[in-house]
Amino acid sequence: MSAQDASTLDGSRSRRGGSDFAALARRINAEGLLDRRPGYYVARFTLVAAAYAAAWAALAVLGDTWWTLVVAVVLGVAFAQVALVAHDLAHRQVFRTRKPSEIAGRIVGNVGIGMSYGWWMDKHTRHHANPNHEELDPDVAPDILVWSERQAENAGGLARFFGRRQAFLFFPLLTLEGFNLHVSSVRATLNPATKRRHLELALLLVHFAGYLGALFLVLSPAKAIVFLLLNQAVFGVYLGCTFAPNHKGMPTLTAEDELDYLRKQVLTSRNVRGGPMMDVALGGLNYQIEHHLFPSMPTPNLRRAKPIVEQYCADVGVTYQETGLVESYRIALRHMHDVGEPLRA
């Protein structure tokens, strides 16, 4: 953690009352920003489903040609947009209750893109409960990358090898993220502790059978393999570029950091500036601060909540971070380079 980050957290520890968030929540509720937006989601689901179906149709129409690699790229983007829809379903932004959210989530996640809805829900729920917490947030758990100097000092194996140059390796490694999601999903269904794991696995197998069957039915083996590699690489990079700006390079927390809900969510998150196109590209996650404070808020309401949250943070003295997309990547990569210093010493 940098000296500036430590100063920010130290200055926030003196105000840990839950009343700060309660006052903001009352304002947000009064504005109706937690109300469901069915019209928006019908339109969004229709457009994403149309793009997804059109990509598969284009593959069938083009047939066994290298031009289908263009389709692989388009389908990778469509996969990422489907994943963002699954994200909203998991947060109950679409439906108020659990059952329809789970049914739709498993169809979209497991069948649509080969990602276990149950596995992702467990992982993402723990992230939201303790964002950027080194012991509790699975998104900053040391694996082959490290997210703090403390993790770097204790790193071994692959983390020690990759961590030395992790800022340079970050984007290349994202090309493997799609495969990582699939492998992690299958592994989760083999764990007896996973809820409804047999259903989850069956739906994953439907996806894999349909996906691989379509590729090898339409394309020659060589083209099918190249299509698969390119498609999954685009999918992984898109997802990584969507989630990386939100928390990477922001303060990481430990058990010593006793922050209230408002500060825990705001001080570890970063918004990304941009207009409607940015909202579409990042699925609303460019309003990461508002999303973390109110996870069930429908995506189209996040833009309206932003000025309210930003002003409130200024009123109570909580730092509200926002930057451009390219700058957010620069900050994240600089942070990754800096925390890897102990591994280069």
Task: Express each pLDDT in 80-136 by its tens digit.
Answer: 999 999 999 999 999 999 999 999 999 999 999 999 999 999 999 999 999 999 999
What's CA 311's distance to the chain center, in Å? 26
Buried b (16+ CB within 10 A) or exposed e, 111-124: bbbbbbbbbbbbeb
pLDDT score at 56: 98
Residue pLDDT, tens place only, 19-48: 799 999 999 999 999 999 999 999 999 999
Yes or no: say if 102 and 117 are a contact pair by the CB < 8 Å rule: yes
pLDDT score at 194: 87
pLDDT at 9 over 60: no
Tokens (6 digits) for 270: 């970063």
* Count of alpha carbons within 13 angstroms of residue 225, beta-carbon side: 2
Residue pLDDT, tens place only, 191-238: 998 889 999 999 999 999 999 999 999 999 999 999 999 999 999 999
Helix residue ranges per DSSP H, 154-294? 157-163, 166-174, 177-189, 197-218, 221-247, 261-266, 276-281, 288-293
- What percentage of the chain has pLDDT greater than the value 70? 95
DSSP state of 130: S
pLDDT score at 142: 85
pLDDT score at 18: 57
239 vs 178: CA distance, rounded Å:
8
DSSP state of 152: H
325 vs 322: CA distance, rounded Å:
10
pLDDT score at 74: 98
SS3 223: helix
Yes or no: say if 212 and 231 are a contact pair by the CB < 8 Å rule: no
Instruction: Report the sign of the C-alpha dihedral through residues 9, 12, 14, 19, in that order.
Output: negative
302 vs 288: CA distance, rounded Å:
9
Domain limits, the chain: 3-340
SS3 280: helix
Yes or no: say if 177 and 237 are a contact pair by the CB < 8 Å rule: yes
Average per-residue pLDDT for the chain: 93
- What percentage of the chain has pLDDT greater than the value 90? 85
pLDDT at 5 over 80: no
Contacts of 209 (CB under 8 A, 6+ apart): none
pLDDT at 58 over 90: yes
pLDDT score at 159: 87
210 vs 32: CA distance, rounded Å:
42
Tokens (6 digits) for 141: 């758990």
Contacts of 111 (CB under 8 A, 6+ apart): 203, 206, 207
SS3 15: coil
Cα→Cα distances 89→83, 203, 235, 326, Å: 10, 17, 19, 28
Tokens (6 digits) for 102: 């789970």
pLDDT at 318 over 80: yes
* Residue written as token pair 């996650």: 285
Task: Specify the pTM.
Answer: 0.92
